[in-house]
Amino acid sequence: MNKKHLIGALFVYSTLIGATLVFLMPIGIMLAGSLKADDLVLLEASTLRDFFSAEASLQNYRDVFERVPFLRYLFNSTLITCTIVITGLLVNSLAGYAFARLQWRGRDALLLAVIALMIIPLEAIAVPLFYQVTLLGWRDTYLVQIVPFIANAFSIYLFYTFFLGLPRELEEAARIDGAGLWRTFFVIVIPNAKAAFATVAILTFLTQWGAFLWPLMVTYSEAVRPLPLGIASFYTLPPLQWGDIFAFGVMMVTPVLLIFLIFQHWFVKGVATTGIKG
């Protein structure tokens, strides 16, 4: 049995390592290409030795800042994404708590509506939503990229499933001590739901940081253009330089990787908790 377990463990870990390398390969190619001279990016890739043989240089990164307003794109993406994450955590957690703990007329029907909204993609409502924001005069603004995405059905459902698993005794003890509903939520519930908040924050950040379709539809100036639109326009900017494009991609992906690495413990814990208690 020990030999069988050892063989099974070796197979599992070998498969996981192989899958990890496959997923990391594009990032490695992008990072290596961003450090090469532009005329060597596609040439020095025939063998593994050639792939790492080029002399490293940060010239491609300097070119990005010279050719496009990268810092403006970065500021726009940071402002839009962080605003959606922070306000979304408040709005969606309150909604999830109301569904999980409060008794009110129409709660079950509205919860079913929220669950149904989870399967409706943005593409299905993009046109009527575009028409609505046009009537409001929000096109080519930060508002049009933030407001429609603050409330999120999936985030509400994640909070709902997590709050269902919290011991009611904590809230009952707080109410006995004289705490009201708002104080109970902010002082008792939120500190015990850090994993759920981290999970929702990471998922929301990943989704909004890479959003492309909606900003493409509602923006047309560099003043409010986020990074995904920035790299799309940079790709079409002559002359085509793959080293510069890879450098742009590295700088765009780095914040996402840092956020995930910093909060990965809470993310894994939150996913496991909501999955078990939901």
pTM listed for this prediction: 0.85
C-alpha 253/C-alpha 39 separation (Å) is 23
Q: Is 52 helix (H, G, I), strand (E, B) or coil?
A: coil
Tokens 């030795």 correspond to: 49
The pLDDT tens digits along the chain (278 residues) read: 577 778 888 888 899 899 988 888 888 888 888 888 777 776 655 455 556 655 778 888 999 999 999 999 999 999 999 999 999 999 999 999 999 998 889 899 999 999 888 888 888 899 999 999 999 999 999 999 999 999 999 999 999 999 998 888 888 888 888 888 898 899 889 988 888 898 899 889 989 999 999 999 999 988 999 999 999 988 888 888 888 899 999 999 998 888 878 877 766 666 655 544 44
Identify which of 173, 193, 195 has the alpha carbon closest to the alpha carbon of residue 184: 173
